[in-house]
Amino acid sequence: MTAPRLEADWLRAGPLAHLLGVLDRDGEEARVVGGAVRNALLGIDVVDIDVATTAVPEDVVRRVGKAGFKAVPTGIDHGTVTVVVDGRPFEVTTLREDVETYGRKAKVAFGRDWKRDAERRDFTMNALSVTADGSVHDYVGGLADLKRRAVRFIGNPAMRIAEDHLRILRFFRCHAAYGEGAPDAAGLHACVAARASLDALSRERVRAELFKLLLARHAVAMLALMLEYGLLGPILGGVPFLASFENMIKVEAASATPADPVRRLGALGVFVVEDAERLWQRLRLANAEHERLASMGESWWRVAPVDANAGRALLYRLGSERYVDRVLVAWARSWEEGAADVAWRDFAALPQRWTPPIFPLSADDFMRRGVAKGPALGAALRAAETAWIAADFTVDKAALAAIITKVIAAA
């Protein structure tokens, strides 16, 4: 089935057009496939662009090299070459069909049949392809499903999941991002029936899909559905706080703060610091992500927009990113007046109008007053910094001298 032409500037000009011009000739064909086509037809921003071709990987490398493009064999055993054109990377994959599949791995054979290649993909709306002239090709009913915003497995859902267990999470994530209404019943049933297979997935892949789900427009509904059917608890390894997650989306909007998957994960799964430790291990988070979650779990219940000095002290201690994380978590969990709460909005916006100063006292200030190097000097500096913060970051020289005197006297 061939649909009307897709009108898209990125398809007809620039790096992609150059790449298609090299691959789509001399007996070979190349098309844009997958998410880029889906998003373009839905009017959603196109970020990553994947290309499929009848040319075998070695021919792809030869052609793009001759054209002066850079080829990186990122997955050449499975037919994928990353081609960099004018600084823009594109994944180029040879048409293929699965010979054997087992969970997250597959033995593939290269081919030249666009229909067979489409049939091995996950969902109908992800199996669309478009040629350089804008002609959209649909072999599995993707256009009809796209029109009604239905995320539907290609063929037998259980078989698609058996080929790749990650498709369970992708089903919920794609419906949260692109679907409307209730999820496809057959697909949902297959995902629930195969939920135990999630344990076999790498934690990195689970993390990647979960982060995308947390940012999707219908994330709340899909997370609630996953919880109801026993899929969310095992992923997080604990009790999810859905109300906190839903409120986090609201406070992000109310405070004009960009959506952030780590912050949303904190709202969903971190109540105390120990929760951050568990998620770190279960999802194999980056150290920086773990540290942010741990900060969100530390004394968030003590944060309230009642004391401007306390807000400045918190921002000084945490830095801008972690300050916003903790304040928004506290706001989301004390959702009383909601988005109309001006005090919370102002409190969250503090980093935009105030930059923490540098502590003005140094070791020399104390050594000149007789404090020797060693543990006592370190303790004196810490005590002085605490007093300086309590004095609302004073820059008055007399006040700073008084802090030094008081700290030495108390030592």
Minimal CA–CA distance to 313: which of 346, 279, 350, 353? 350
Q: What's the CA gap between 196 and 178, in Å, rounded?
A: 25
State which of 126, 147, 168 marks the end of a domain: 147
Q: What is the pLDDT of residue 96?
A: 87
Give dist(CA 14, CA 37) in Å, integer.
Answer: 17
Does one domain contain both 3 and 116?
A: yes
Q: What angle (nearest 5°) sits at the alpha carbon of residue 276, between those of residues 305 and 298?
A: 30
Note whether 131 and 8 are same-domain residues. Answer: yes
- CA pair distance 49, 34, nearest whole angstrom: 8
| Beta-carbon contacts of residue 11 (< 8 Å; ≥ 6 apart) | 17, 32, 40, 130, 132, 134
Structural domain boundaries, residue 388: 363-410
Residues 159 and 139 grouped into a single domain: no
Query: Are residue 82 and residue 95 in the same domain, yes or no?
Result: yes
Residue appearing with tokens 């990650």: 166
Domain endpoint, select from 235, 253, 277: 235
Distances (CA, A) of 18 to 11, 30, 36: 10, 12, 17
* CATH code of residue 36: 3.30.460.10
Q: Are residues 109 and 177 in the same domain?
A: no
Claim to verify: residue 189 and residue 142 sit in the same structural domain: no
Q: Are residues 25 and 127 in the same domain?
A: yes
Q: Which of 336, 356, 376 is the last residue of a domain?
A: 356
Do residues 341 and 277 both lie within one domain?
yes
227 and 301 part of one domain: no
Please tell me the predicted confidence (pLDDT) of residue 357: 97
Cβ-contact 350, 311 below 8 angstroms: yes
Question: What residues in the chain have per-residue pLDDT under 70?
Answer: 1-3, 98-108, 336-340
Coil, helix or strand for 337?
Answer: coil
**CA–CA separation, 52 vs 69, rounded Å?**
17
Indicate the pTM of the whole model.
Answer: 0.90
Residues 290 and 316 in one domain: yes
Same structural domain, 260 and 379:
no
Please indicate, yes or no, whether residues 406 and 325 belong to a single structural domain of this protein. no
pLDDT reported for residue 1: 47
Indicate the number of domains in the chain: 4
Q: What is the pLDDT of residue 108?
A: 67
